[in-house]
Amino acid sequence: MTHLRGFAQRWVVFVGVLVVWQLLTMASASKFFPTPVSIVESAGKLWLGGPASQFWLHDNVFVHILPSIGRLLTGWLGAAVVGIALGIALGRSKHGVDYFGPLFAFLRSIPPVLLLPFFMVIFGIESPQKIALIAFGALWPILLNSVDGARSVDAVKTDTARSFRIPRGQWIFMVVLPAALPKIFAGLRVSLSLSLVLMVISELVGAATGMGTQLVDAQRQYEYTDMWAIILLLGVLGYALNSLLLVLERRVLSWQPTRNAQPSTVKAGG
């Protein structure tokens, strides 16, 4: 019963907004604001109706959506690997951050989008350029959070580990990394939404495939229902990816007492 109420609580505003949107757009004759129902119809035409061998998905899915998701995940995972490894190393070194701090602060302040022209010159206009841009933007939140996390190992744990003479590998993987994980996950979540934005932007200019490309094409051809369908799909994609990451985080950090004490905060996020 409380479960049902929680579910209703979480979705009532969302559904309400959809209904209001439908009513408003029905009342208006503007071509720029199609009704949600017509948007969903467009989405069906855009992405469904393929042959059974393609799981009834339209070619569009394979030409635009999957490559986009592939770039996003490749860039984000690359940033995660580099960011966590480098962040832990710097966080545990005595003077690492003293040396690299100003450089990182500067690089992080550059809006990654501004580097698009530069990455185009270096990597061309295909996937490598987009992956590089996503990875560059996603790196900083992960890196800086990893540094913070690695530094959060308290003195008693350091002493305990030293008094047991544990080897380096065990120190890093069983003490430093677990202690840093809550912060690392915070960084990963910020980076994931950033990656989605950078993915779309990198595909808006000079690209042959991708959801961003499909979006500008639809807009240029005055296919406003298609354009809205893509925007909505991007929203759904962001929501789904974030939810998946939260599920992973909940599993990995299940040892944290606060997580079990207040499950509602986790639910609200997912």
Partner 1 sequence: MTPMLEVADLRHTYGSGPTAHTAVQNLKFEVAAGELACIVGPSGCGKSTLLRCIAGLIKPSEGTVSLHGDKIDRTPEDLAVVFQDYSRSLFPWLSVRGNVEFPLRSRGVARAERRKRAEEALEWVGLSGAGAKYPWQLSGGMQQRVSIARALACQPSLLLMDEPFASVDAQTRFELEDLLLRVRHEHESTVLLVTHDIDESVYLGDRVLVLSKSPASIVADLTVDLPAQRDQITTRESKNFVALRSEVARLLHNQPAAEPEPVVRPASSAAEDEAAAQRFLEAEREQTRQTSR
By CB under 8 A, name the binding residues for partner 1: 92, 154-160, 162-167, 170-171, 174-175, 178-179, 181, 255-257
Residue number, 52 or 261, with CB nearest to partner 1: 261
Give the type of residue at 186.
A
Residue number, 106 or 255, with CB nearest to partner 1: 255
**Bridge partners of residue 48, in order along the sequence:** 57
Token look-up 């979480």 returns 10
- Output the smallest distance, CB 156 to partner 1, in A: 4
DSSP state of 253: T
d(CA 260, CA 266): 9
Helices (H), the chain: 2-27, 36-47, 59-60, 66-92, 96-109, 116-123, 127-151, 155-163, 168-171, 177-204, 211-220, 224-252, 257-261, 263-269
Exposed e or buried b per residue across 222-231, where buried means at least 16 C-beta atoms within 10 angstroms of its C-beta: ebbbbbbbbe
- Output the smallest distance, CB 233 to partner 1, in A: 38
Cβ distance 83 to 139 under 8 Å? yes
d(CA 2, CA 142): 37
**How many other CB atoms sit within 10 Å of the CB of residue 190?**
16
Residue 255, judged by CB atoms within 10 A of its CB (0-12, 13-18, 19+), counts as exposed
Furthest C-alpha separation in the chain: 75
Length of the chain: 270
